[in-house]
Amino acid sequence: MRNLFIIILSLLSCQYSSSQIGSESINRGKVDIELNKNIELLGLAYFIGFEGVNIETKTVQVDGEAIPKKDWHNYGYALYQDYKSYATSANLAKSFSVANHLWLDYLSAFLMQVDEVPNAKLTDAIAEHYYLNFSKNKDAAEAKNNVEIFLEGMNAFSREINLEAYLSNAELYYRKMIEEVSNTLPNANFIDAMEAFYNTSFESYVLVPSLTIPKGMGFGIKVPTNNKTKIYSVFGALDAQEFEDENNLKMGFRNPEKLMELSIHEFGHSFVNPEVTKLPDHLFQETEHLFKPLKAVMYDQGYNTWKACVYEHFVRAGEIIIAEKLGDEKTTERLMLDYQEKRRFKYIPEILIELRKYDDGFYKSYYALVESTMRKLSKL
């Protein structure tokens, strides 16, 4: 892949020694930080095409307080003001015409495997399941055709808006973002805890912060490369941003608690999702009735199918276990309250019972735990 436009160590090397970076995880090679040009284009396109629409009249809830959406997404709003005339771009419309049924996590996973725009193209090296959903009917030939349309539009759109000029003009902001993430990186022991608990490991763990992906969004992505597997956490800013004064920049990534939780959550999907995906269809059908009382609140959080809800239940229950293993009682209690009471992941208590049995060696594998838990949930 040639789709990385900046890698943290090369970007920081002119300013920081490894000791000044202050992150053991970088030195040990457990956690890397990368920026991805294709992700920045995707985020910008999404913001001006969808997120920014009527942003001036909307509010968002931040820490229990309603604030103007344009103030919370202030960097994105500034981009929207600069680029909103391109919302009607024929090139952008061309891309969205074959991808408007796909969410950003799927598009991100695909775009991270092609060359940088404006030279992105589908190759035989990309597994079919990374683009098959471009066809609503899962028809391979149609999916390939739609992917080509999508990439042609994105390549042309990157030239149309002069993406290179944006990245060059915003270099100071991206440098500050990377500095903030590198100085806020969680200790790599959370990776050790996850590998030990799930009894699996990956070649590398990569954080992909973004200034164009809207705040609060994050995607866990698994990508095979040369018979090895990298897992990624792609995410937008975590906190308020201040970027008017170049001598006092705050790009919204200096929140250790949120970055730790986000990393465990998004990396967790790469441990959990493949095992949940193996479940036979009848187990989803037999537990489908459990979705009904949660449907409205899950829709509000972006989980509009029972299968997506199942993934989230297991991932979030796993986060609680990892917090326990790290000896973080405060986070454990807060996650339990947030996930069960506030966000209504109703079945986490039942899953936690089985996860603790798995941790004690009751189950032979994580998949065996998942299958057994789903059978038990079907009887609720």
Write out the two tokens for 81: 């003001």
Decide if pLDDT at 7 tops 50.
no
**What ranges do the domains of the chain cover?**
4-12+21-255, 278-377
The dihedral through the CA atoms of 36, 97, 100, 81 has a sign that is: positive
Mean of per-residue pLDDT scores for the chain: 91
Report pLDDT for 246.
94
Q: pLDDT by residue (tens digit) across 277-322?
A: 999 999 999 999 999 999 999 999 989 999 999 999 999 999 999 9
Q: Please report, rounded to a whole number, the percentage of residues in the chain having pLDDT higher than 70.
A: 92
Report pLDDT for 320.
98
CA distance 71 to 62: 11
Report pLDDT for 2.
40
**Of the candidates 229, 210, 232, which has an alpha carbon nearest to the alpha carbon of residue 219?**
232
Report pLDDT for 185.
79
> Coil, strand, or helix at residue 289?
helix
Output the pTM of the full model: 0.89
Number of other CB atoms surrounding residue 113 within 10 Å? 21
Q: Torsions phi, psi of 17, nearest 5?
A: -85, 170
Report pLDDT for 17.
28
Average pLDDT over residues 215-227: 89
Q: How confident is the model at residue 134 (pLDDT cuts 50, 70, 90)?
A: very high
Q: pLDDT by residue (tens digit) across 165-212?
A: 999 999 999 999 999 999 997 677 899 999 999 999 999 999 999 999
Decide if pLDDT at 15 tops 80.
no
Q: pLDDT by residue (tens digit) across 34-45?
A: 999 999 999 999
Report pLDDT for 302.
87
CA–CA distances in Å: residue 102 to residues 63, 98, 136, 306: 29, 9, 9, 17
Q: Which residues pair with 235 in a beta bridge?
A: 209, 218
**Of the candidates 7, 5, 8, 4, which has an alpha carbon nearest to the alpha carbon of residue 16?**
8
CA distance 203 to 228: 6
Let me know if 261 is exposed, middle or buried by CB neighbors in 10 A (0-12, 13-18, 19+).
Answer: buried
